[in-house]
Amino acid sequence: MKQRTLAIIKPDAVAKGVAGKIMARIEEGGFTILAAKLIHMTDAQARGFYIVHKDKPFYASLCSFMTQGPCIPMVLEGDNAIARWRDLMGATNPANAAAGTIRKDFASSIEANAVHGSDAPETAAFEIPYFFASLEIHPR
């Protein structure tokens, strides 16, 4: 089943200069990138995006981290895209991520973990339009 998910190459990965390598892995993984852009989130934008975590102890530091530099949100499409993208990303904590996953290879901590991905269809339905207008997404 074709599915869409949001992916973000986070500020740590952009700063390290590995965004191109991550995008290549995405394409090699059989995903189609339908939309992508380089942005620098404001604090208000980060807080709105991560509102689901507002009551968690890491919320403020996550928002601060996501505003420290540019990031690259993308819309990915593919069969079972949400689960497959999460598999390719690897565990949230790179110390627990499987060999060959993006987080194992490019992340440096549980917070500076290189990439984000929607965790469910309902999450993707909120996250994709948070960053992209329908006219910005290639119709494929």
Q: How many angstroms separate the CA atoms of 10 and 137, rounded?
A: 20
Whole-number Cα distances in Å, 25 to 30, 36, 102: 9, 15, 8
The answer to whether the predicted template modeling score (pTM) of the entire model surpasses 0.75 is yes
Active-site residue, from 40, 53, 116, 138: 116
Q: Is 53 a catalytic residue?
A: no
pLDDT per residue as tens digits for the range 88-123 = 999 999 999 999 999 999 999 998 999 999 999 999
